[in-house]
Amino acid sequence: MKGADADTDTDGDLFLASDEDEDSSSSSSPLPVTPESATSSSKPPASLTGHAAGCGDGGGVGSDGITEREFSCHCCYDVLVDPTTLNCGHSFCRHCLAQWWESSHKTECPECREKWEGFPRVNILLRDAVEKLFPGAVLQRREQIHANPRVSHSVLAFQRHGDEQANRGVAAGGQRRGAGGFFSGVLTALTAVAVMLLVYHWSSGEGVQELLVSKPVSNWSPEDVALWLEHLGPWAALYRDSFDTEQVNGRLLTLLDEEELSRPPYSVLNQAHRRAILEELERVRALGVKPPQNLWEYKAVNGGKSLFLLYALKSSPRLTLVYLYLFDYENTFLPFIHTCCPAHRLNRPLDGRPAKTPEEDPNWKQWSEFLVKYALLPYQLIAEFAWDWLGVHYWTSRFVIVNAMLLSVLEGCAFWRIWSRSEIRTLPKKMWSHFWKMMSQGLAFILLWPMIPQFVCNCLFYWALYFNPIINIDLVVQQLRHPDTQVP
């Protein structure tokens, strides 16, 4: 029922009262109108009765000649049950509004599309008036609503959503202020600390220093060669003094071969150590720079790509893995699948670095294991990949593993809602909608990320890496406490 209709009905009640007052004002002094006198007053004017008779097809007629159509919901076009009035003035049945919210995921009026503020409440005055005018119709509709479990489920989820908004505290515009409670304070403190560290890092100029991953090997100084040797592992410290004594720079490093390394002054007599140095030298010669060996070096070389992968893996891991398979097969996808689904168990090196993975194509057993995990537990693949890097980035890998576990729980809750509501048929439509949403966001990112300053890119990267797990903890707690609630 529109807000204007509600105002008209109210004015109509006042109009009846004013007519009765005029009829009773023939006496010299006005008398107060009591409920008894109002009940025993004369019938409504002939004009109002004629209007009601003209709407005879609108449903039942109340005791005062008012039809159900004048108190009908503009969603179901039936008499209002628990009428809920929005900020725009339009009123709807409570269960109709709950079903609209659940299906559209929007907090706006179904008729005029104006967003409501806060959480809609039942219009008690209008509810009492409708129940008094049409008790039989309201009782019959209530029985139908209670007999339909899907409608009752929508109303319950809608009310729980309102309770959670009240607990978290909702701003005037209907937007969430934060994760709420304990996690809101933790997020605020961590955000302040992170911003201070990033500002210090940016102002001190530490991030401006040229890294080996972006510096050509022909320009390496002896200090750069010593730093490259340190990155090979703790065992490489045995040979650092000999490289420093000979003042080996980048050009001389690329000329070394196995025979020279085995002779003085280098004296790399251990065959495994010599082979490791030669393998890294081959990669340096092929790329012209030091290849990235950890997350931070990869981010320094591929800032936009790392940010895209971080957010894409969080929002849609399956589509992201398809992207890696199609566009980054050798450099990223092959190491990923060999790490998560190894062909055979490799012994981890003593320096704690991840074991070397073969560059050949995966066999059918690896593909079978990968596809099963890809379909059922895609976040487990990310957790297994991060687990393999615990020796390199302990805390960062822990954050990634925890976040992957939380995202798995949230995905499971989402599938449980679809299954419990018998909405399996809508799953292809939801997947298609999600696909186009991710494609549009990816295209927008490709177009906009080159224009984003590096400092802003770093802030977004660290936020997604370290702070998203804290937000996901709050979301998991909400889902476990109210598994039927779906927040838009």
Q: What pLDDT score does 53 carry?
A: 34
pLDDT, tens digit (0-9, with 9 covering 90-100), for 280-335: 888 888 888 888 877 777 887 777 888 888 888 888 899 999 988 998 888 888 88
The answer to whether 420 and 382 have CB atoms below 8 angstroms apart is no
Choose between 128 and 198: higher pLDDT.
128
Domain extent, residue 332, equals: 299-481
Is 20 contained in some domain? yes
The answer to whether 378 and 370 have CB atoms below 8 angstroms apart is no
384 token code pair: 């297994």
Is 263 contained in some domain? yes
Is 35 contained in some domain? yes
Residue 277, Cβ density class (10 Å: 0-12 exposed, 13-18 middle, ≥19 buried) = buried
293 token code pair: 């060996």
Quick one: 316 and 367 in the same domain? yes
What residues contact 42, with CB distance under 8 A and at least 6 apart?
Answer: 20, 23
Quick one: 455 and 337 in the same domain? yes
Quick one: 32 and 129 in the same domain? yes
Quick one: 69 and 140 in the same domain? yes
In whole angstroms, give the CA distance from residue 195 to residue 467.
12
Burial 185-220 (b: 16+ CB within 10 A, else e): eebeeeeeeeeeebeeebeeeeeeeebbbebebeeb
- From 287, 314, 329, the end of a domain falls on 287
Quick one: 431 and 320 in the same domain? yes
Average pLDDT score over residue span 401-429: 85
CATH at residue 264: 1.10.150.50
- From 287, 311, 327, the end of a domain falls on 287
Is 231 contained in some domain? yes
Is 124 contained in some domain? yes
CA dihedral of residues 230, 235, 236, 239 (deg, nearest 10): 140
408 token code pair: 């798995």
CATH at residue 17: 3.30.40.10
In the predicted model, what is the mean pLDDT of the chain? Answer: 74
Using CA atoms, how far residue 305 sits from 57, 99, 382, 463, 484, in Å, is 64, 40, 17, 16, 36
In whole angstroms, give the CA distance from residue 379 to residue 32.
73
β-partners of residue 400 are none
Quick one: 306 and 281 in the same domain? no
- From 267, 287, 307, the end of a domain falls on 287
What residues contact 348, with CB distance under 8 A and at least 6 apart?
Answer: 354, 355, 391
Q: Residue 57's pLDDT band (boundaries 50, 70, 90)?
A: very low
Quick one: 141 and 267 in the same domain? no
Choose between 46 and 484: higher pLDDT.
484
pLDDT, tens digit (0-9, with 9 covering 90-100), for 216-263: 888 888 888 888 888 888 888 888 888 888 888 888 888 888 888 888
Q: What are phi and psi of 91, to 5 degrees?
A: -120, 140
Average pLDDT score over residue span 378-386: 90
Quick one: 25 and 164 in the same domain? yes
**Selection from 103, 118, 102, 209 nearest residue 156 by Cα:** 102
Q: Is the pLDDT of residue 19 over 70?
A: no
In whole angstroms, give the CA distance from residue 381 to residue 109.
42
128 token code pair: 């009492």
Average pLDDT score over residue span 45-73: 53
Quick one: 315 and 276 in the same domain? no
Quick one: 314 and 436 in the same domain? yes
Q: What pLDDT score does 374 carry?
A: 92
pLDDT, tens digit (0-9, with 9 covering 90-100), for 132-162: 888 888 888 888 888 888 888 888 888 888 8
Q: Residue 371's pLDDT band (boundaries 50, 70, 90)?
A: very high
Q: Is the pLDDT of residue 77 over 80?
A: yes
pTM above 0.85, yes or no: no
Is 189 contained in some domain? no
Quick one: 312 and 280 in the same domain? no
In whole angstroms, give the CA distance from residue 303 to residue 298.
8
In whole angstroms, give the CA distance from residue 134 to residue 136.
6
227 token code pair: 């730093």
Burial 240-270 (b: 16+ CB within 10 A, else e): eeebeeeebbbeebeebeeeebeeeebebee
Q: Residue 35's pLDDT band (boundaries 50, 70, 90)?
A: very low
Q: Tell me the percentage of the chain whose pLDDT exceeds 70.
A: 73
Residue 64 carries which side chain, given as an amino acid letter?
Answer: D
Is 270 contained in some domain? yes
Q: Residue 379's pLDDT band (boundaries 50, 70, 90)?
A: very high
The count of structural domains within the chain is 3
Is 132 contained in some domain? yes
Quick one: 414 and 303 in the same domain? yes
